[in-house]
A and B are shown apart, each in its own frame.
Chain A
Amino acid sequence: MAISTKDVRHIAGLANLEFGEAEIERFTRQLSAILDYVAQLERLKTDAIEPTSHVNAAAHALRDDALRPPATHEQALANAPETDRGYFKVPKVIG
């Protein structure tokens, strides 16, 4: 196995996901199979190769910093699950 159940629990925590025992086992098996498949990249020597993060290096043009109407307060809050006096409302952040 390319990764252990312990790794999968750690990754789930980083990704803000939680799984039961059966799901942890299943993800460990499936992710291991995918990582074993991905391991074929090790055959390629790439020390001298530049990485490609983006194919349009030339784009990334910045637009003029001109004022345009922003979203209204109501628009920004319209899809929120819970609001209070014009703010997003969440359960307690500090225990």
Chain B
Amino acid sequence: MTDPSRATIAELRDLVVSGRMSASEICKAHLGRTRAVDDRVKAYRSVLERQALAEADAVDRARRESRPLGPLAGVPIAVKDVLCTQGTPTTCGSRILENFVPYYDATCVARLREAGAVIIGKTNMDEFAMGSSTENSAFEVTRNPWDLTRVPGGSSGGSAAAVAAGMVPAALGTDTGGSIRQPAALCGVPGLKPTYGRVSRYGLVAFASSLDQAGPFGRTVADVARILQVIAGHDPLDSTSAPEPVPDYLGGLERGIAGLRIGVPKEYFPAGLDAEVHGSVRAALAAAERLGASIDEVSLPHTEYAIPTYYIIATAEASSNLARYDGVRYGLRAAGAPDIAQLFRKTRNAGFGAEVKRRIMLGTYVLSSGYYDAYYLKGQKVRTLIRRDFEDAFRRVDLLITPTTPSAAFRIGEKVDDPLAMYLSDIFTVTINLAGLPGMSIPCGLTRDGLPIGAQIIGPRFGEDVVLRAAAALEGAMQFRDRHPPLPR
């Protein structure tokens, strides 16, 4: 019998379609797994047990009545708590939205439902997706399934941990500066940030609108491709979603990487890079070469400016986006304010955590009169230089491969008091958001302490098909799929 908590999407759907297992049984198996391990991992903000069982039951009914079944029929999927889900709380990990219940689904969530997926729960995250460890959640700290004393990464730490721990076969996260790829690397699962505009942002509660993008985590690269196939494509409700046609991501997956030109940007392998990370990523490159890809060193000369540029642009956009939380139309309202000016201030003071306030402050400063040109405009100009670095590189190569993170999972509490040190854990991922490119992390090894290491595959705009193809080939070569975190079965 297939163990549903380790099965792929294709296997789960086959079980449902063939009738060997019902969608309800699959849902119950994942709910059972969640009950068994989530008191330790704390990946979920809310488990939607009753609703998920009703959705699974609807899939089973459709099968009995011989109605057509979607590509994700009966597949449980978890959704980061920053994506709106109709009728269920969407907190963004923040006290200010603790009781917020959207009346609509985010487009990517609606598309999952239309494809037959069962939304099984909402996952924990850093408040408003600001953080790299999920320690900034106002509610709970998610733990890394591979070592419960360590962080799962962030901000989509709950989604990555839920997949790694076998609680769900796939999950949605969002990525503004690395928030899918970094936790994917730290939790040892594949995770993809699509090209900016590939997936609709409608219903994704905004952090930095020119950088935010939703994308999937899965147990396998093929599962990530299956989810992307469903959620990608133009949405009239998001004017920044791209009208580009959506290719067949699964169809090209087995084509291998023979003949592909892979660039290795030297700036992503600095002298001080963790030796185990360096060794694992080099091993992935050697595997790519054995499979027939060619490897060339390239240069992305403005890489060192990416973190400062990111923290100007992302905080500027955040300070503007988060101005809407004022205690008037939704969310928390502080009690006892005698006038509206004090209502705004007291509500925001009580509702936002320290990191969110820090970023609002920084963003307000870089946009303020007298500093706009020196910081915000300067940041946008350097963004152009960073974007051009990649355009130049992609004239010579088809893909780039780098480490996803400078080190494996760090300890809970290790970086909470040093914002700059925390920001630097995104040093290899923020550039891709600034340039609007697709990037994927795949597991490529374990440290001696048994912690996962991720390799990042970066493609040209709308090059998800090539990224996934290379990821599938390397997944086959790296033999990581049989490794599982040391949690009880």
Q: A44-B382, A46-B381, A79-B331 are in contact. Are A90 and B340 (CB under 8 A)?
A: yes
Shortest distance in angstroms between B164's beta carbon and chain A's nearest beta carbon? 31
* Chain B neighbourhood of A37, CB < 8 A: 307-308, 420
Q: How far is the CA of A73 from the CA of B349 in the complex (A)?
A: 29
Q: Is B454 an interface residue (CB 8 A)?
A: no
* Chain B neighbourhood of A60, CB < 8 A: 239-240
Q: How far is the CA of A82 from the CA of B340 in the complex (A)?
A: 13
Q: Mark A33-54, 1 if CB is under 8 A from B, else 0.
A: 1110110111010100111111
Which of B243, B323, B343, B361 is the one whose CB lies under 8 Å from A11? B361
Q: How far is the CA of A38 from the CA of B378 in the complex (A)?
A: 11
Known pairs A12-B361, A44-B382, A59-B242. 10 more at Cβ < 8 A?
A30-B358, A31-B358, A33-B420, A34-B419, A37-B308, A51-B381, A55-B461, A71-B103, A90-B328, A93-B340
Q: How many residues of B contact A (CB 8 A)?
A: 69
CB-defined A-B contacts under 8 Å, sample of 25: A11-B364, A11-B368, A15-B360, A16-B323, A16-B345, A17-B361, A30-B358, A34-B420, A38-B308, A38-B312, A40-B304, A40-B305, A41-B305, A41-B379, A42-B378, A44-B305, A49-B381, A51-B384, A59-B240, A63-B239, A79-B99, A79-B101, A81-B327, A81-B332, A90-B340
* Chain A neighbourhood of B375, CB < 8 A: 38
Which of A14, A44, A56, A90 is the one whose CB lies under 8 Å from B364? A14
Q: Which residues of A contact B (CB under 8 A)?
A: 3, 7-8, 11-12, 14-19, 27, 30-31, 33-35, 37-38, 40-42, 44, 46, 49-56, 58-64, 71, 75-76, 78-82, 88, 90-93, 95
Q: Evaluate contact between B348 and A16: CB separation under 8 angstroms.
A: yes
Shortest distance in angstroms between B355's beta carbon and chain A's nearest beta carbon? 10
* Chain B neighbourhood of A55, CB < 8 A: 196-197, 210, 387, 435-436, 461
Q: Evaluate contact between B385 and A44: CB separation under 8 angstroms.
A: yes
Which of A16, A46, A53, A76 is the one whose CB lies under 8 Å from B344? A16
Q: Is B241 an interface residue (CB 8 A)?
A: yes
Q: Is B319 an interface residue (CB 8 A)?
A: yes
Q: Which residues of B contact A (CB under 8 A)?
A: 99-101, 103-104, 196-197, 210, 236-237, 239-243, 302, 304-305, 307-309, 311-312, 319, 323, 326-333, 337-340, 342-346, 348-349, 352, 357-358, 360-362, 364-365, 368, 375, 377-385, 387, 419-420, 435-436, 461
Q: Evaluate contact between A91 and B338: CB separation under 8 angstroms.
A: yes
Q: Evaluate contact between B365 and A11: CB separation under 8 angstroms.
A: yes
Shortest distance in angstroms between B262's beta carbon and chain A's nearest beta carbon? 23
Q: How far is the CA of A82 from the CA of B327 in the complex (A)?
A: 9
Q: How far is the CA of A75 from the CA of B98 in the complex (A)?
A: 18
Q: How far is the CA of A11 from the CA of B358 in the complex (A)?
A: 11
Q: How far is the CA of A33 from the CA of B311 in the complex (A)?
A: 13
Q: Evaluate contact between B239 and A30: CB separation under 8 angstroms.
A: no
Which of B309, B340, B364, B379 is the one whose CB lies under 8 Å from A92? B340
Chain A's closest residue to B357 (CB) is A17
Q: Evaluate contact between A78 and B103: CB separation under 8 angstroms.
A: yes
Shortest distance in angstroms between A48's beta carbon and chain B's nearest beta carbon? 9
Q: Evaluate contact between B368 and A14: CB separation under 8 angstroms.
A: yes
Chain B's closest residue to A51 (CB) is B380
Q: How far is the CA of A35 from the CA of B381 in the complex (A)?
A: 17
Q: How far is the CA of A15 from the CA of B382 in the complex (A)?
A: 26
Q: Evaluate contact between B332 and A91: CB separation under 8 angstroms.
A: no
Q: Evaluate contact between B197 and A56: CB separation under 8 angstroms.
A: yes
Chain B's closest residue to A48 (CB) is B381
Q: Evaluate contact between B340 and A18: CB separation under 8 angstroms.
A: no
Chain B's closest residue to A54 (CB) is B210
Q: Evaluate contact between A51 and B339: CB separation under 8 angstroms.
A: no
* Chain B neighbourhood of A3, CB < 8 A: 365
Q: Evaluate contact between A46 and B210: CB separation under 8 angstroms.
A: no
* Chain A neighbourhood of B311, CB < 8 A: 34, 38
* Chain A neighbourhood of B360, CB < 8 A: 15, 17
Q: Evaluate contact between A82 and B240: CB separation under 8 angstroms.
A: no
* Chain B neighbourhood of A54, CB < 8 A: 210, 240
Which of B103, B339, B365 is the one whose CB lies under 8 Å from A31? B365
* Chain A neighbourhood of B210, CB < 8 A: 53-55
Which of A46, A56, A63, A80 is the one whose CB lies under 8 Å from B328? A80
* Chain A neighbourhood of B327, CB < 8 A: 81
Q: Evaluate contact between A75 and B197: CB separation under 8 angstroms.
A: no
Q: Evaluate contact between A61 and B243: CB separation under 8 angstroms.
A: yes
Q: A41-B382, A55-B196 are in contact. Are A17 and B345 (CB under 8 A)?
A: yes
Q: How far is the CA of A93 from the CA of B328 in the complex (A)?
A: 12
Q: A40-B305, A61-B239 are in contact. Are A15 and B364 (CB under 8 A)?
A: yes
Q: Evaluate contact between A78 and B101: CB separation under 8 angstroms.
A: yes
* Chain B neighbourhood of A38, CB < 8 A: 308, 311-312, 375
Q: Evaluate contact between A91 and B101: CB separation under 8 angstroms.
A: no
Q: How far is the CA of A37 from the CA of B383 in the complex (A)?
A: 17
Shortest distance in angstroms between B481's beta carbon and chain A's nearest beta carbon? 34
* Chain B neighbourhood of A31, CB < 8 A: 358, 361-362, 365
Shortest distance in angstroms between A68's beta carbon and chain B's nearest beta carbon? 10
Q: How far is the CA of A62 from the CA of B239 in the complex (A)?
A: 6
